[in-house]
């Protein structure tokens, strides 16, 4: 195989932070090259240098044998470099087809040929084996389907180097299998894939080589077949990690939250379950099952048409998120950029945003209390930042997720709903999140955890509720739960037979 891309001694500095410190990377045609490192290691910065989104302070980029000091977005696209970013770059009001061919619309003379555009977009989406109406606005799609649109949009530009930043994060096993099929097809055509993921099982299934970064520096490159999970973790974090899903001794108490016959106009049908004090309740299901919709309905973000919510044996009426917060419910959303973190505010302001009353005296915010609260959660969650005054938008994706979590914890909630809590979180930080969730449960909080990662659900949950097309199809104890049984229920199958 021939080298298509080399990054030599790449340097990128920001005030107070050296994001890349003489970073090196070599990529061959037709290989899947994994890029791994903890949050803040510099992975996203490196791919932005490759794509021309940011300009490095030093180093060389060699592409197809030609040397460049830096790239620009237009140049990288012209050269055949495509990026599927962790955060989507879609226009919500445009249709799926319009997003896919944005800037490259198909025309008949001077008139856009929408029929041809829709036809070609449908053909591209069919390659994933997933039926998506390409004429609907992107804003109407779930996060998972938006991710598929983002991937298809990038592939449609005939790329030579395709960079994928956590592409599987919002996908379930079925969509991941389809994604890997596309990657293998592109690989057979000679396309080089740079694949960023925190999911170890994916790295070993799909990649040929893996490069490890730590603190903006190059650590090592290994043949994937010649390394192990434990070795990659050691290289990434500089230490060994013991048991991935920590086991703690905790007491599960009385019922805290009950959801009865919950219905919404769009999807949910007679959803019911309960969560007890100190319990971690897993919520499983395929894309479109209604897990996120259930969380949003409980939190008051989406209206319910019927049903009841009970807390501590008393019925409560939650019409909006403010009502939910008053009743001790916190939601850590799936899409942190859109619904979680306040990007243009500082880390300090994000953390204290909901807890203003707790740090105020006579309606005046105490600067000392504000800073003390921010420091508490920055230290507790190990948020990597030079100062608490840094804007949240300048943090890595994983650290942004930690800020969302800190904001929720600061509101003194008793019921916390985690929607994909470790999406985009590196393996070292994942264990920290798991330990924190366990700690919250041991303190008597009731936890609902939505996750598309089966090992995470099985490893963390005391019970698992499974959903299919807006309905609860089963409840499994920790002893009963298995990947096979969960997938059966998630597919609407009971006792091996379709309903």
Tell me if 130 sits within 8 A of 149, measured CB to CB. no
Please tell me the pTM assigned to this model.
0.58
Question: What's the confidence (pLDDT) of residue 239?
Answer: 59
Tokens of residue 240, six digits = 């060994």
- Which residues are bridge partners to 53 per DSSP? none
- How far is Cα 166 from Cα 423, in angstroms, rounded to an integer? 9
Phi-psi region of 16 (alpha: psi -120 to 50; beta: other; left: phi over 0): left
Measured in residues, the chain has a length of: 499
Q: Are 3-237 and 255-498 in the same CATH fold?
A: yes
Distances (CA, A) of 296 to 195, 336, 403: 31, 14, 20
Question: What's the confidence (pLDDT) of residue 107?
Answer: 65
Distances (CA, A) of 214 to 85, 167, 219, 471: 20, 21, 7, 44
Phi, psi at 33, each rounded to 5°:
-110, 110
Question: What's the confidence (pLDDT) of residue 496?
Answer: 41
> Which alpha helices (H) appear in 358-426, and where do they start and end?
367-381, 397-410
- What homologous superfamily does CATH list for 3-237? P-loop containing nucleotide triphosphate hydrolases (3.40.50.300)
Domain residue ranges in the chain: 3-237, 255-498
Question: What's the confidence (pLDDT) of residue 87?
Answer: 72
Tell me if 149 sits within 8 A of 85, measured CB to CB. no
Instruction: Please tell us whether the domain made up of 255-498 is placed in CATH 3.40.50.300.
Output: yes
Supply the DSSP symbol for 150. Answer: H
Picking from 80, 184, 175, the residue whose alpha carbon sits closest to that of residue 130 is 175
**pLDDT tens, per residue, the chain with 499 residues:** 799 999 999 999 987 678 899 999 999 999 999 998 876 788 989 999 999 999 999 999 999 999 999 999 999 999 999 998 877 789 999 999 999 888 776 666 667 788 888 998 898 888 766 778 999 999 998 777 888 888 888 888 889 999 998 888 777 777 788 788 889 988 998 999 999 987 888 999 999 999 999 889 999 999 999 998 888 878 887 755 556 777 777 889 999 999 999 999 889 999 999 999 999 999 998 777 899 999 999 999 999 999 999 999 999 999 999 899 889 999 988 777 777 788 888 998 888 877 666 777 667 777 888 888 889 888 887 788 888 999 988 887 678 878 888 887 777 789 999 998 887 666 667 777 888 889 889 989 999 999 988 888 998 999 999 998 899 999 999 999 987 788 788 877 653 434 3
Tell me if 422 sits within 8 A of 430, measured CB to CB. yes
Question: What's the confidence (pLDDT) of residue 48?
Answer: 93
Question: What's the confidence (pLDDT) of residue 170?
Answer: 72
């Amino acid at each position: 195989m021939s080298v298509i891309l080399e990054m030599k001694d790449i340097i990128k500095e920001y005030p107070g932070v050296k994001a890349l410190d003489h970073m090196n990377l070599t990529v061959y045609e037709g290989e899947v090259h994994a890029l791994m490192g903890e949050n803040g290691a510099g992975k996203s910065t490196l791919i932005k240098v490759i794509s021309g989104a940011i300009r490095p302070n030093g180093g060389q980029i060699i592409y197809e044998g030609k040397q460049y000091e830096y790239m620009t977005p237009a140049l990288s696209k012209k050269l055949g470099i495509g990026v599927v970013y962790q955060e989507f770059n879609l226009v919500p009001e445009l249709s799926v087809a319009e997003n896919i061919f944005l800037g490259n619309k198909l025309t008949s003379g001077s008139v856009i040929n929408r029929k041809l555009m829709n036809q070609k977009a449908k053909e591209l989406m069919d390659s994933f084996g997933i039926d998506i109406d390409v004429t609907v606005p992107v804003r109407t799609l779930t996060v998972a389907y938006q991710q598929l649109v983002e991937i298809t949009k990038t592939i449609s530009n005939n790329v030579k180097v395709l960079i994928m930043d956590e592409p599987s994060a919002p996908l379930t096993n079925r969509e991941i299998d389809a994604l890997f099929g596309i990657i293998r097809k592109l690989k057979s055509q000679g396309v080089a894939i740079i694949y960023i993921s925190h999911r170890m099982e994916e790295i070993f299934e799909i990649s040929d080589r893996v490069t490890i970064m730590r603190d903006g520096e190059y650590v090592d490159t290994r043949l994937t077949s010649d390394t192990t999970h434990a070795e990659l973790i050691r290289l990434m974090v500089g230490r060994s990690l013991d048991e991935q899903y920590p086991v703690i001794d905790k007491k599960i108490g009385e019922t805290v939250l009950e959801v009865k016959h919950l219905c919404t106009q769009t999807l949910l049908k007679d959803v019911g379950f309960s969560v007890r004090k100190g319990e971690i309740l897993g919520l499983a299901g395929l894309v479109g099952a209604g897990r996120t919709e259930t969380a949003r309905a409980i939190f008051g973000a989406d209206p319910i048409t019927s049903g009841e919510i009970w807390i501590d044996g008393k019925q409560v009426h939650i019409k909006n998120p403010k009502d939910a917060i008053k009743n001790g419910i916190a939601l850590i959303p799936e899409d942190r950029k859109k619904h979680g973190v306040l990007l243009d505010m500082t880390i300090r302001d994000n953390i204290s945003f909901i807890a203003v009353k707790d740090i105020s005296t006579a309606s005046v915010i105490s600067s000392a209390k504000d800073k003390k609260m921010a420091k508490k959660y920055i230290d507790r969650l190990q948020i990597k930042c030079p100062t608490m005054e840094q804007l949240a938008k300048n943090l890595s994706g994983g650290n942004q997720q930690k800020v969302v979590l800190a904001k929720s914890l600061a509101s003194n909630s008793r019921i916390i709903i985690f929607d994909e809590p470790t999406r985009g979180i590196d393996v070292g930080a994942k264990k920290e999140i798991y330990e924190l969730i366990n700690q919250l449960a041991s303190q008597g909080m009731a936890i609902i955890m939505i996750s598309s990662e089966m090992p995470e659900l099985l490893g963390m949950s005391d019970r698992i509720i499974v959903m299919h097309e807006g309905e609860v199809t089963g409840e499994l104890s920790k002893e009963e739960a298995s990947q096979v049984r969960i997938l059966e229920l998630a597919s609407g199958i009971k006792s091996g037979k379709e309903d």
